[in-house]
Amino acid sequence: MEIAVYILLGCGLFINAMSVVGLLRFPDIYTRLHAATKTTTFGSIFIVAAVIVHSILVDDAASLTIIMHSAIALVVVIFTNPISAHAIARAALYFGIKPYGVVINDLSEKQKQARRRKA
């Protein structure tokens, strides 16, 4: 059963590493949001799964508390991450940042409208 902890922890660390590589290499904010949000959520799921399996295997006084609290932390990550990503994307759109490499910006009219409505 110990091999399951190794595999789950390795998967989580690998997916988090992919998120970091994506943030260092991608050209603009919208592609970076794609790399940042989804992969960190998925890596957290794998690491919490490894923690739960390890706590079941060790089975001492603190095991049940650690399992419950890490599950609550996972729920917090899963609920807050997409909402904050959506808020950042909306802020970047109204801030006037074009996607990388666009020649014709289909959203420019919408951005101007939104700014006029705000003013």
Partner 1 sequence: MNTLFIVSALLIGSYILLMVIRVAFSHNVPERIVALDTINTLIITLMIVLGVIQRKALYIDIGIVYGIISFIGTLYIARYLIEEKK
The site for partner 1 (CB under 8 A) is made up of: 2, 5-6, 9, 12-13, 16-17, 19-20, 23-24, 28-29, 32-33, 36-37, 40-41, 43-44, 47-48, 51, 54-55, 58, 60, 62, 65-66, 69-70, 72-73, 76-77, 80-81, 83-85, 87-88, 90-92, 94-97, 115, 118-119
Least CB distance from residue 103 to partner 1, whole Å? 20
47: closest CA among 5, 105, 101?
5
Structure tokens at 89: 């994307």
Distance CA 71, CA 60 (A): 18
* Closest approach of partner 1 to the CB of residue 46, in Å: 10
Alpha carbon distance 19, 9 (integer Å): 16
